[in-house]
Amino acid sequence: MYQVVDQESYYRKGVFRHFSEDCKCSVSMTAKLDVTELAAFSGRTGTKFYLNFLYLLTKTLNSRPDYRMGWLWQTKELICYDVIHPTQYVFHEDTETCTPVYTTYYEDYARFYREAERDLERAKQTRDYALDAEHHPNWFDASYIPWLSYDALHLELPDGWLYLAPIVNWGRYREENGRLLMPVTVRLNHAVADGYLVAKVFRLLQAEIDAFSA
């Protein structure tokens, strides 16, 4: 479900027009999040750090309409989804390929965790890429890069296509000055988000991590 956004009264009307017509581009930012307490919580409760982070990331992106925007190219309508869900990935060591995993977001942590873990286990049984964006319009890309604790990541998308869903990547956390810091990269289309809104993702996400871990 979604709501059509009135482009004439949209609070980012001028910015949207400029970056959807004159200067089509995206904003991508990488920052380190402190996941010390989340790692401790995961170990203490016997839960998977990855799934705990995925839940908090999805909860964060659902907290503001700016992160739930979409574009219907057939009717040229700007929309805001009621909820967005994560597309996670399973990496197969034997084929060195990935399988997309469509997971439904539930605000209830226990239910989300249970369903997300089940989705991953099912995906491990196949080697199909099975990307089906047409039937999953309100899913955002959430991809873990476990082989590296990187410092920067840049994702290219065609400028001519108004892809408004967030794309989030994160790498391995590493210890720095006694804390566990994890690189996270957030990409948003400049038509619906500027540097403030991208930076806001990190601030909101860090607050969610801290509150959840406590």
| CB atoms closer than 10 angstroms to residue 167 | 19
Is the CB of residue 173 less than 8 Å from the CB of residue 117? no
- The set of residues, in sequence order, having a beta carbon less than 8 Å from that of 115 and lying 6+ positions away, is 103, 104, 106
pLDDT digits (tens, 9 = 90+) for 82-91: 999 999 999 9
pLDDT higher than 80, residue 3: yes
Coil, strand, or helix at residue 192? Answer: coil
Interval 134-160: pLDDT, tens: 899 999 999 999 999 999 999 878 766
Q: Give residue 159's pLDDT.
A: 64
Sequence spans of domains, the chain: 2-213
- Split at pLDDT 50, 70, 90, the class of 17 is very high
**What stretches of 46-188 show up as alpha helix (H) in DSSP?**
49-61, 109-123
Give residue-wise pLDDT tens across range 26-49.
Answer: 999 999 999 999 999 999 999 999
Q: Is 187 helix (H, G, I), strand (E, B) or coil?
A: strand
- Closest by CA position to 18, among listed 190, 207, 206, 213: 190
CATH T-level assignment (fold) for domain 2-213: Chloramphenicol Acetyltransferase (3.30.559)
